[in-house]
Structure 1
């Protein structure tokens, strides 16, 4: 019984293999059915591209579009005599302080910016 079932399975495998081989060979040949038609627009475009000649570049083409480069002038060095006279005027200048500028001799009250504010008792109770 076992031998008969093996023969039957072998025969079925051979039959399936033959069917697949035949199916593959039938499908392998495909003939194109559509005929390539000429595209007039594409042909005209390609012809114009082949016939195009770019214009020659001349040296004078840039005139009027590009500014000529001029080196900037070197900065003038400061005159040392002017620095010396300015330093002398600075040294002889009178220093203004707050005490001298306030007239009447009243003392200036300074505010303490870092003084902490006392919290309200209502906020502290919560």
Structure 2
């Protein structure tokens, strides 16, 4: 019996079709881009047109250094006369009146604040409709 079983197993393995193995490649097939090759070839072959020596004329202005500044003319008599006029002048009256009026407005605003605070302390009366 053992021989019959081994013969059947041997014949079964021979009757099988040969196994085909298919491999999967992860690298892409390199395809040439003819348009890109022609474009690169034309870029390499390009020669820029030569510019003339006077091409910059009209585009750039000539540089002229500015004139050196001159010191102002001041005489000692002018300075002394201005200092004398300043020392003889009286202090501005507008500053004194402004300071007194500002202190008065401070008192008024202080009174207004106190009145507002007293008004705020009063209880709120709710009227029912």
TM-score (norm 2): 0.48
TM-score (norm 1): 0.49
Greater RCO (CA < 8 Å, at least 6 residues apart): 1
